[in-house]
Amino acid sequence: MSRNGPLGFYEFFAGGGMARLGLGDGWSCLYANDFDPVKAATYRANFTDAGEHFHEGDVWQVKPADLPGQADLAWASSPCQDFSLAGARAGLEGGRSSAFFGFWKLMEALDADGRAPRVIVVENVVGMLTSNGGQDFTALCRALVDRGYRFGALEVDAARFTPQSRPRVFIIASRTTGSAPSGHCTFHSRAVDEAFGRLPEDLQAAWVWWNLPAPPARNTDLAAILDADDAVVWRPEADTGHLLDQMTPLNRARLETGAVRTVGAVYRRTRAGVPQAEVRTDGLAGCLRTARGGSSRQSLVVAQDGVVRSRLLTPREGARLMGLPEGYQLPKGATAAFHVIGDGVAVPVVRWLASHLLEPLLTSGDPAVLAAE
């Protein structure tokens, strides 16, 4: 793509197109792929040009000839269940996360054809840094380096942008040449530092400490994105009482705030065979999940003047926690809606990466964007 025109990208495991929304209008989607019918229908409902570039099907069945032109960027948010702490931690050999290699064989074929993307982004749960003792991360990095890419990793929590705790790792690989000074930034977490330390020396030599500025302080909390009290369905008092009975005294104490309205997000867990309800009242929701990855819907509790009410988080509220616009079309059923948004990437996180790293890297080629002292 011309530096004066839109940047072209392929989006693999596209889901509802959240990476595309985050990249924004300065980018042109050349090809998008997902095998899930619900996600595919959601993508088509939200992008009028989907018929021109969206392919529904298994990534292993995609051929290099299906990918038009040469993209500036290939984005891959491969299935995370085998890396997630909520999953079996099978790593890259797991049935779902092995889909990454379906994507990677396409990148290898494009490289052989002289059409390799200049930048590749792989997004996943932070557990991918430690899966199989770090061997999976090493294998991924080795694959990138063998194809001529330098790479680095960032851990970004969506809580920096929206009121949802959602840490994710972003591995950014680039063929931009030139030396760059190294340095840490706010997104180089302990997990990233330790992942770097486990790599062999030759892979460490190809590592880039990508440097991004810290975002402004988030100015919204969980209460600010909720629907009006009279527009939602509250649980019966007895059901709320049962929920409170599953809380420890410490959790119950978080709701004893007198006249101050307190909003909390609740997850139900089983510890030592005993069901427990855990509430957080720090202004954040817990990480949204899909029905296949644990609890599909969080509960909310609202306490004021000694009265506690509870209800389920609505799909539209979940969409707001992902940074999706109000006009984004969700599947009609709640389970299907959370299946789409719970597997997605937070839109504002992608926008921050695009504006402060991907776009400067692709449009200027200036190695100064890599890492500043």
Mean pLDDT of the region 36-46: 97
The answer to whether the predicted template modeling score (pTM) of the entire model surpasses 0.85 is: yes
Q: What is the pLDDT of residue 297?
A: 73
pLDDT band for 4, please (50, 70, 90 cuts): low
Of the chain, the percentage scoring pLDDT greater than 70 comes to 88
Residue 182 pLDDT more than 70? Answer: no
Q: What is the pLDDT of residue 2?
A: 44
Per-residue pLDDT tens for 63-88? Answer: 999 999 999 999 999 876 555 444 55
Q: Which of 15-19, 123-127, 291-295 has the lowest mean pLDDT?
A: 291-295
Q: What is the pLDDT of residue 90?
A: 65
CB atoms within 10 A of CB 85: 10
Say if CB 1 and CB 8 are below 8 A apart. Answer: yes
| Structural domains of the chain sorted by starting position, each given as residue range(s) with its CATH number in brackets | 7-217+341-369 (3.40.50.150), 228-313 (no CATH)
Name the E strands within the chain.
Answer: 7-12, 27-34, 54-56, 73-76, 119-125, 150-157, 167-174, 262-271, 274-280, 299-304, 307-312
Give ∠ CA 366-367-373 in degrees, rounded to 5. Answer: 125
DSSP codes, 162-209: SSB--EEEEEEEE---S-------TT--HHHHHHHHHS-HHHHTTB--
Q: Single out the residue of 154, 162, 300 nearest to residue 240, CA to CA.
A: 300
Tell me the average pLDDT of the chain: 89
- CA dihedral for 303, 309, 310, 311, sign (positive or negative): negative
Per-residue pLDDT tens for 256-286? Answer: 888 899 999 998 888 888 888 999 999 999 9
Per-residue pLDDT tens for 140-180? Answer: 999 999 999 999 999 999 999 999 999 999 999 998 744 44
Residue 36 pLDDT more than 80? Answer: yes
pLDDT band for 38, please (50, 70, 90 cuts): very high
Residue 292 pLDDT more than 90? Answer: no
Q: What is the pLDDT of residue 172?
A: 95
pLDDT band for 1, please (50, 70, 90 cuts): very low
Mean pLDDT of the region 220-232: 97
Per-residue pLDDT tens for 297-324? Answer: 789 999 999 999 999 999 999 999 999 9
Q: What is the pLDDT of residue 99?
A: 80
Q: Greater confidence, 100 or 23?
A: 23
Q: What is the pLDDT of residue 98?
A: 75
Q: What is the pLDDT of residue 171?
A: 96
pLDDT band for 93, please (50, 70, 90 cuts): low
Q: What is the pLDDT of residue 268?
A: 82
Per-residue pLDDT tens for 338-352? Answer: 999 999 999 999 999
